Each structure stands twice: as C-alpha cells, then as structure tokens.
Amino acid sequence: MPVQVYIDGQEGTTGLKILERFDGRSDIALLKIDPEKRKDNAERKRLIHQSDITFLCLPDAAAVEAVALAEGSNTRIIDASTAHRTNPDWAYGFPELSPAHRERIRTSQRVAVPGCYASGFISLVYPLVQAGILPADYPVTAYALSGYSGGGKKAIAQYTDPNRDNCFDAPRLYALGQTHKHMPEMQKISGLAYPPMFNPIICDFFNGMIVCVPILTRLLPKAVTPEQVHAAFAAHYANQRFVHVTALQGSDVLPDGFMSANPLAGSNDLEVFVCGNHDRILLCARLDNLGKGASGAAVQCMNLMIGAPEDTGLTSVYEKE
C-alpha cells in the first residue's frame, strides 16, 4: 500500500524540488491540490488529514497554520520552514548528527527540516562541541555564500529579471543586523552558549552553498591541530552516505586554489573541509542549498519515517560505497 503524501506549497521552490525527487517512486501516492485552491484552508485541511505524510513548503506563518489544520489527524508532518526547528517537540531533521537524531526522526510525528545555512554550520560545529574540541562558549563566527534560489520565488524573480539592477551582478551581504533567521537553530542544535556571529552572502548563481567557520586555535582551552580536528570529523561522519569528510587540506585548498560553491548542485551531499594551519583552522561545509539544505534533507527524513532505504530518490556525486 503506497504512502499517501501531500505537499502543502507544491508550487514553490522547495515543493517543486521534492516533487522532482519523487519521480519514478511506486511506494508513494501523491495527493495534489487544485492550484486554484492552494490557499483554501478547508481543502488544505482535507488533504492534510487524508495523507500519511504532509510536507510543509510554506512561509513560516502558513506552516504554523498548517500544523493547526492537522490537529485531530494522525498525519506525520515534515516542515521545511523555520517555524519549528528549535521547538523541543519536533525532531531536528539531520540524521547524520548522531544515532539519536536519526532514531528520533524515524519515530517522530513532527520533523523540522534544517535551514540550508544551518545545515552547513551545524555539520561543522556540532561534532567539535561533542568531541570537547570547541567549548560551548567559544566566540563562533561564520560566513557563507549561497545561490539565489535560497531566497525562494521572490529572489529567483529578482535575479532572473532581464531588466534587473546591476547590483544583482555582484555578491551581496545581508542580515547585517546579526538577526538571520537560522541563528537560533545554529546555536541550539550545536550546543553553543551564545549565538554565532553570522554573515551570509547571496550570489548570482542558482543553487549551491559554502558555509565557513574559522577557528583561532589560541582561543581554545586545549591545544588542537588540524589533523586532530580532521580525525574528529572523520570519526563522527564515518559510514555516512551523504556527509563526506574530504582529505585534510593544506593552505592551497583545492588544486587551483579556489573552492567553488556549486559542484554539489542537484545532489544530497554535504562535504566537510578542514583547511588552514595550526594557528588558524578554517572549516568549510559545501552543499546544495536546495538539496541537503532543503528538499533532499526533507526526502531523506521521509524515507527514514516510512522505512524506505534512506537514499531513495536522492543522488550523490560520490560513488556508492
């Protein structure tokens, strides 16, 4: 019997990407809303109640509303929005963080999909806090590059407008007031005592992302080398299908010295890089903001929840091990 799945927000950037990942699956039966009725609450409620799994690919306020509409049903919800990521009643949808995270996702009625920047950040900081390398009160800073699809339909329309202003040609800093919406989950899930300083940059390419976290080793209570940090990541992510700890990098990061933000586009991969030197270690996470940063992670969570192989419908640029 196929699992009945409804996507609330099926016409949006994330909703459409989830649909793409369902191509060819016979274990799923999709419940589709008439596009004319996509904001009709009675129709949304009917489909949410009819489904076994509902994905929410909506702005935060509409996601909260959808959860209220689901009341009284047994529907399991996977929310791609920011609304429930720090809510203790919801599982945080990042199975590679620990066996406990994977198990909670598998058994939960409510799963929040991590934010794209947060996925990169947490993949770097959580293992080091757990390993006792990074103290909870370390003054963590992060900067990140994102393709414009991370801004949803509105940003895509701005960037693809043939008459756009030339300010869109250049990378643009934003969230300069240090209030980016991913900061609460970055802090809480990583186990940090304070919010990080976080500076995102939106760029003129469709999808792809790098999140960077610099570590000044002289600020750490215990001496640590890049080799030890690399070993901690390798142990933490051993045998994960989608999280890859790349070889320890020297000061020249990649063969030509550049790290591009888009080679994982379309995949559900996340790569961890340990760069820099003994004084200044630079951690980088590279992912597709629409893949492991959104729809890929959402589908991975669903696979766990319905007992399907975790990688069904998901691609990796790495050979299957």
Ligand X SMILES: CC(=O)N[C@@H](CCC(=O)OP(=O)(O)O)C(=O)O
Active site residues: 116
Q: Which of residues 185-224 bind ligand X (CB under 6 A)?
A: 200, 202
Give the binding range for ligand NDP (CB under 6 A) out of 18-26, 79-87, 132-140, 196-204.
Answer: 79-87
12 binds ligand NDP, rule: CB under 6 A: yes
Give the binding range for ligand X (CB under 6 A) out of 27-35, 147-155, 243-251, 297-305.
Answer: 147-155
280 binds ligand X, rule: CB under 6 A: no
Total Cβ atoms within 10 A of residue 232: 20
Give the binding range for ligand X (CB under 6 A) out of 120-128, 136-144, 149-157, 254-262.
Answer: 149-157
Edge-first strand order for the sheet with 3-8 is 28-31, 3-8, 53-56, 76-79, 110-112, 91-92
- Two structure tokens written together for 192: 């940090």
Q: How far apart are CA 143 and CA 278, in angstroms?
A: 21
The H or E element containing residue 20 is helix 13-21
Query: Which residues does 87 contact at the CB level (< 8 Å), separation at least 6?
Result: 112
Sequence-ordered alpha helix ranges (H) in 70-217: 99-107, 116-130, 152-160, 183-190
Q: How far apart are CA 45 and CA 68, in angstroms?
A: 9
**Shortest gap between Cβ of 96 and ligand X (angstroms)?**
17
The H or E element containing residue 91 is strand 91-92
Selection from 176, 181, 159 nearest residue 168 by Cα:
159
- Two structure tokens written together for 169: 């040609």
Q: Which of residues 139-158 bind ligand NDP (CB under 6 A)?
A: 149-150, 152-153
**Shortest gap between Cβ of 154 and ligand NDP (angstroms)?**
6
Sequence-ordered alpha helix ranges (H) in 31-91: 41-50, 60-69
- Ranked by CB distance to ligand NDP, the top (closest) residue is 12
151 binds ligand X, rule: CB under 6 A: yes
Cβ distance to ligand NDP smaller for residue 38 or 280 = 38
Identify whether the C-beta of residue 142 lies closer than 8 Å to the C-beta of residue 118.
Answer: no
Q: How far apart are CA 269 and CA 65, in angstroms?
A: 32
How far is C-alpha 274 from the chain's CA centre? 20
> Contact letters (x/-) for ligand NDP, 200-229, by CB under 6 A?
------------------------------
293 binds ligand X, rule: CB under 6 A: yes
Tell me which of ligand X, ligand NDP, none is bound by residue 202, counting a contact when its beta carbon lies within the kind-specific cut-off of 5 to 8 angstroms. Answer: ligand X
Q: Which of 28, 67, 116, 124 binds ligand NDP (CB under 6 A)?
A: 116
51 binds ligand NDP, rule: CB under 6 A: no
296 binds ligand NDP, rule: CB under 6 A: no
108 binds ligand NDP, rule: CB under 6 A: no
Pairing of strands 110-112, 91-92: parallel
**Shortest gap between Cβ of 118 and ligand X (angstroms)?**
7
Residues that bind ligand NDP (CB under 6 A): 8-9, 11-15, 38-39, 57-60, 62, 80-82, 115-116, 149-150, 152-153, 289-290, 293-294
Residues that bind ligand X (CB under 6 A): 81-82, 115-116, 146, 150-151, 155, 181-182, 200, 202, 293-294
